[in-house]
Structure 1
């Protein structure tokens, strides 16, 4: 009888703890950055950075703005392309206000798909992912395909 009472108490405690952890981990501060083309489609803009990510980006630019690999842009091969490799797009990355702007050396080609990869704002593990066993061995970049 005592064991059953202890089990019920532990079970209720576990439910309350999981509920509290889910509330803490669901705060609105960890929004994913938004990646999209600028209005004129001449550059790619990453915005909606959280404060911690923005501070890290500003520090990286302060150290060496020319060599930052904050954003990787690749041309996605089309179905008719003989080469099935993604091609790196060269360009410059700038911090403008609270957004990161990638400006390619050559203009984006209309009708092509571009894959944008960034580790900015990527979390290693949240409490919820640890509890659910969804933690991966390494950081996975945010990867988004944009069509020009």
Structure 2
């Protein structure tokens, strides 16, 4: 993460190909990845709210470009449903499946 973008890497190739088939302007990408500014110990007056921006697809990545540069010292929460799987055959057979898909979350500080 820098002040200009967040790059999401190591995306399953099949999933990336499916995303590339989505028509330009479709909101699916925005539903798969969310970026929120969040309060922190350094700045608790900030409200948690979505960061405006756009998603771009490259050959191997999804890139979030904010409408305004990220603010130095501020925390941002990235929530993504990319690369989430339901469960392996082994987990299904052992009954260790969680019936809801939990997004991956990562807290980033600029």
Q: Distance in 2 between matches of 1:89 and 1:117?
A: 12
By how many angstroms is 1:105 displaced?
A: 0.5
* 2:101 alignment partner in structure 1: 139
2:15–2:83 contact (8 Å) kept in structure 1: yes
Provide the TM-score with structure 2 as the length reference.
Answer: 0.83
The two structures, once aligned, show a CA RMSD in angstroms of: 1.9
* 1:31 alignment partner in structure 2: none
By how many angstroms is 1:127 displaced?
A: 2.3
1:129 aligns with 2:101: no
- From 104, 119, 122, the equivalent of 2:66 is 104
Larger Rg: 1
For the residue of structure 2 that corresponds to 1:64, the secondary structure is coil
For the residue of structure 2 that corresponds to 1:129, the secondary structure is helix
For the residue of structure 2 that corresponds to 1:97, the secondary structure is coil
By how many angstroms is 1:87 displaced?
A: 1.3
Provide the TM-score with structure 1 as the length reference.
Answer: 0.64
Q: Distance in 2 between matches of 1:41 and 1:120?
A: 23
By how many angstroms is 1:131 displaced?
A: 4.1
1:65 aligns with 2:20: no
> Residues 131 and 100 (structure 1 numbering): CA distance in 2 closer, same or farther, change over 3 Å?
same
- From 116, 119, 132, the equivalent of 2:78 is 116
Q: Distance in 1 between matches of 2:98 and 2:5?
A: 32
